[in-house]
Every structure is written in structure tokens, then in C-alpha cells.
């Protein structure tokens, strides 16, 4: 098999890179081992224009949000699936200080933050809530549908090899690489935490963090909205099912879901909601970010033909489409990659 590009990994990064390569008629194959615990397969799928307790606008939000909305819709049309939905985030406040802080931010960032007058419809849903803030627009990416549908498409087009890629079997030639029966001109690693095993990455301040989340059943909670306090409740497509999370743990003993996260989160849900909550599933994954919370995008200037598309941290859903496009434009037309995201910034 001969191809121009070999991508390693079909998480959200590999999927978007594959999409833009296809859009520009660039031949490629994807190797993915289908690891069920990958970050993309367990993520909530939220694209939030603000971040943290202080509701600071997320990096490049004004560019990322419209671009993502348009591109996810375009991918959805191609796949005949709804892969993105515009949603309101309703933030619930239990004290005056939180309302004051949010009000201050509304003046600084009126595009995305709005104060919601007390909505009595919510009174029967939550406990001890004295006010609401609204974050809008936000988007919810249907990760399961998107990843599975793109995978199906790749398979149908004979572009997917479902196996573990063993880097020690990659052979470099003058004109490219060979891997078992595949010959390619370039190889781009979109392998998430797999990047930690690469040889030449010691200079990069990688920051893997563990995230835990739960799937719960909450009959009666209206599923057109995202709800937030310290936790985020994201409605799933199945009736009454919600994704709730997530933790960001810098140190962890196990990659698996823990009893303590489950107990704490269930208790927090019972303290927040007036409705019954049933635990359905526990999830945990490691997301790969960098200490400066910027992605890693580009062809390597020292390893000819090798590229990287990684380091999406907690924001893969919004960063992956935007930077996959930049990477393809860079490869095709030498257009520049954002200086804070370019892979070669550490060299
Ligand atoms: C609990 C949790 C909640 C999150 N919620 C959100 C959210 O709401 N919004 C958001 O934007 N982000 C969220 N994130 C972050 C998001 O999941 C990541 O930024 C994103 O998924 C990273 O995608 P990726 O494709 O770079 O890596 P990955 O998802 O890790 O994908 C890498 C792929 O490569 C494959 N692979 C790796 N090595 C090999 C190999 N050697 N051979 C073959 N295949 C290989 C893996 O199987 C996988 O399919 C969350 C993360 C977690 C853990």
C-alpha cells in the first residue's frame, strides 16, 4: 500500500486531520488500535467559550467557536449525522459572592456571559439555588457518533488499519517511510498519550492529567440545556442520561476510575439536585496537554517527513478542527501555524 500520509491515531485529533486531508484530496491511511480508554472516547464534548472560576474567555475563543460550529456541521453533513449542537450553559449559584463575581465578568465579557433572572422552572430541579448565569453560545460535540462515523467511513474507503502501531518497525528511506506493507511519504503522530513514549520529546513540557467522569440517569432534568456548578452536567442523546464531570488530576496512582471520585460526585449531585440520580457508568482517561496549555502542531524541522498533532489538553474538541486545518494549510501552502501552537517552538 502506498500513500502520501500515514496518521497514527484516530481520536479527535486524527479524525480532524484526516477530514482536512481528505477535503484537500490528500491520500492518507490511518492506524488506530481502538483503545476504549482513550481521552476522545470518554470526553464530554463541550466547547465552552469561557474557562475557570473567573470565566475568562478561552484562548482564541472568538476564532475557534464560529470555525468549529461551521466545520462540525460540514463534517456532520458529510456523515449524515448530527455531530454538534448549540447549547446554553446554565450556571447555578448558591451564594451572593458567586453572583457578584459572575456579574462583574458579564460587564467584561458580554458576548458570552449573561445574567439570567431567576427562572422558577428550575426551582423544582435544584436545591438552595439563589440565581443563575448564562453562558452562550456553547457547543456540545457528539463524540461517540463523530468518532464512530468517521471510523466507519475510513474503513469503507480502505483507509483504516485497526492495529497497534509499533514505532520500532518503522523504516526510514530517502523518499519516506515503510511500515510493514505500507509505504508513505510522511507520518503524522496523533497518538494522544502515546507521544510520551517518543524518543525526542524530552524538551517538551508535557502535562498529562487524569480526568474522571460519570454517566448518570436523572429522569426529569430537561435535556436541552447544560447545567453547571462545580460540576458540569452534559445531556447525552439517550433519554435521561447525563455525562457529569470532570476532574483534572495532576498526580494519580491509577488510570482507572476510582471509588472516591464516584462517591464524591454522587454526593455533590445529591446536594445539588432535587431529582433522583442513578449511577450508570464510571469513566477515566488521561489527556495529554502541555504546561503552557497550548497544543503541539506541525512537521518536525529535524526529522524530515515526521509531524505531530497533539497536546490538546482539556480542549481537544475546539482545538483539533482549527489546528488540523492550519496544519494542512501549512503542508500545502506553507501558511504559518500559530506561534504558540507550533511544534518547533521547543527546538
Ligand atoms: C474525562 C475527560 C473529559 C473531557 N472533556 C472534554 C470536553 O468536554 N471538551 C473538550 O474539548 N475536551 C475534553 N477532554 C479532553 C479531550 O478528550 C482531549 O483533548 C482529546 O480527546 C485529545 O484527543 P487526541 O486525539 O489528541 O488524543 P486521544 O483521544 O488520546 O487519541 C489518540 C488515539 O490514538 C490511538 N493510538 C495511540 N497510540 C497508538 C498506537 N501506537 N497505535 C495505534 N493507535 C494508537 C488511541 O487508541 C486513540 O484512538 C476531556 C478529557 C477527559 C479525560
Enter the C-alpha cell of residue 137.
453560545
Q: Could you tell me the pLDDT band of residue 10, with boundaries at 50, 70 and 90?
A: very high
**What integer pLDDT is reported at residue 52 of this predicted model?**
87
- State in Å: Cα 298 to ligand 1 middle: 18
- What is the spatial distance between Cα 334 and Cα 336, in angstroms, rounded to a whole number? 6
pTM: 0.97
In the predicted model, is pLDDT for residue 297 greater than 80?
yes
Ligand 1 centroid, distance to 98 Cα (angstroms): 32
CA dihedral (81, 84, 86, 88) positive or negative: positive
At 32, give phi and psi (nearest 5°): -145, 135
The three three-digit cell numbers of residue 169, written as one number: 518497525
Domain annotation for the chain: domains and CATH numbers = 2-42+145-205+291-346 (3.50.50.60), 207-290 (3.30.9.10)
In whole angstroms, give the CA distance from residue 221 to residue 230.
18
Residue-by-residue DSSP string for 210-259: EEEEEEEE-TTS-TTEEEESSSEEEE-SSTTEEEEE---BSS-S-SS--H
User: Which of 118-122, 249-253, 297-301, 336-340 has the weakest average pLDDT?
Assistant: 118-122
Mean pLDDT of the chain: 95
Residue 128 pLDDT: 86
SS3 14: helix
The reply to whether ligand 1 has any atom less than 6 angstroms from the CB of 147 is no
Identify the bridge partners of residue 171 per DSSP, sorted by sequence position: 178
For 262, phi then psi, to 5°, come to -60, -45
Residue 191 Cβ contacting ligand 1 at under 6 Å: yes
Cα–ligand 1 centroid distance for 316 (angstroms): 7
The DSSP call for residue 181 is: T
Cα 294 from Cα 290, distance rounded (Å): 6
CA distance 114 to 88: 11
- Kindly state the helix (H) or strand (E) to which residue 260 belongs, with its residue range: helix 259-272
Torsion of CA 51, 87, 12, 346, to 10 degrees: -20
Express each pLDDT in 172-212 by its tens digit.
Answer: 999 999 999 999 999 999 999 999 988 767 788 999 999 99
**142 DSSP assignment:** -
Q: List, as own/partner pairs, every contact residues 335-341 make where C-beta atoms lie below 8 angstroms and the sequence separation is at least 24, other chains included.
A: 337/297, 337/298, 338/60, 338/297, 340/59, 340/292, 340/294, 341/294, 341/295, 341/296, 341/297, 341/298
From the CA of 213, give the closest atom in ligand 1: 1
Beta strands (DSSP E) in the chain are: 2-8, 28-31, 46-47, 50-51, 56-57, 84-93, 113-116, 131-141, 160-161, 170-172, 177-179, 182-189, 206-217, 225-228, 232-235, 241-245, 278-290, 296-299, 306-310
Q: What is the DSSP secondary structure assignment for residue 344, as one 8-state letter?
A: G
> What is the arithmetic mean of pLDDT over 111-123?
81
**Joined grid coordinates for residue 149:** 462515523
From ligand 1's centre to the CA of 39, what distance in Å? 3
Mean pLDDT of 59-63: 97
Q: Whose CA is nearest to atom 3 of ligand 1?
A: 43
Find out whether the beta carbon of 257 lies less than 6 Å from any atom of ligand 1: no
DSSP 299-315: E-SSSTTEEEEE--GGG
pLDDT computed for residue 120 by the predictor:
67
Amino acid at each position: 500500500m502506498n500513500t502520501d500520509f500515514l496518521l497514527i491515531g484516530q481520536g479527535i485529533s486524527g479524525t480532524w486531520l484526516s477530514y482536512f486531508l481528505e477535503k484537500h484530496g490528500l491520500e492518507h491511511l490511518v492506524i488506530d488500535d481502538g483503545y476504549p480508554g482513550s481521552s476522545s472516547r470518554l470526553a464530554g464534548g463541550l466547547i465552552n467559550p469561557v474557562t475557570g472560576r473567573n470565566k475568562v474567555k478561552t484562548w482564541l475563543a472568538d476564532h475557534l467557536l464560529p470555525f468549529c460550529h461551521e466545520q462540525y456541521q460540514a463534517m456532520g453533513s458529510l456523515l449524515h449525522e448530527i455531530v454538534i449542537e448549540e447549547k446554553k450553559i446554565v450556571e447555578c449559584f448558591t451564594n451572593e459572592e458567586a453572583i457578584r463575581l459572575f456579574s462583574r465578568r458579564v460587564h467584561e465579557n458580554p458576548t458570552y456571559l449573561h445574567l439570567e433572572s431567576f427562572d422558577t422552572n428550575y426551582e423544582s430541579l435544584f436545591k438552595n439555588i439563589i440565581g443563575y448565569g448564562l453562558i452562550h453560545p456553547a457547543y456540545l460535540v457528539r463524540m461517540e457518533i463523530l468518532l464512530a462515523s468517521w471510523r466507519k467511513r475510513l474503513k469503507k474507503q480502505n483507509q483504516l488499519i485497526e492495529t497497534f502501531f509499533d514505532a520500532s518497525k518503522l523504516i526510514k528511506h530517502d523518499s519516506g517511510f515503510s511500515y510493514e506493507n505500507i509505504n508513505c511519504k510522511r507520518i503524522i503522530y496523533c497518538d494522544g498519550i502515546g507521544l510520551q513514549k517518543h524518543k525526542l520529546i524530552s524538551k517538551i513540557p508535557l502535562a498529562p492529567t487524569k480526568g474522571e467522569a460519570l454517566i448518570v440517569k436523572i429522569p426529569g432534568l430537561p435535556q436541552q440545556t447544560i447545567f453547571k456548578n462545580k460540576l458540569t452536567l452534559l445531556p447525552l442523546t439517550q433519554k435521561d442520561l447525563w455525562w457529569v464531570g470532570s476532574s483534572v488530576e495532576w498526580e494519580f496512582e491509577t488510570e482507572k476510575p476510582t471509588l472516591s471520585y464516584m462517591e464524591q460526585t454522587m454526593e455533590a449531585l445529591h446536594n445539588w439536585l432535587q431529582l433522583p440520580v442513578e449511577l450508570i457508568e464510571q469513566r477515566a482517561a488521561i489527556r495529554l496537554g502541555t504546561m503552557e496549555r497550548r497544543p503541539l502542531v506541525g512537521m518536525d524541522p529535524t526529522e524530515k517527513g515526521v509531524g505531530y498533532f497533539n497536546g490538546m489538553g482539556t480542549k481537544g474538541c475546539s482545538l483539533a478542527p482549527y489546528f488540523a486545518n492550519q496544519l494542512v494549510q501549512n503542508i500545502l501552502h506553507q501558511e504559518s501555524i500559530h506561534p504558540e501552537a507550533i511544534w518547533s517552538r521547543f527546538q
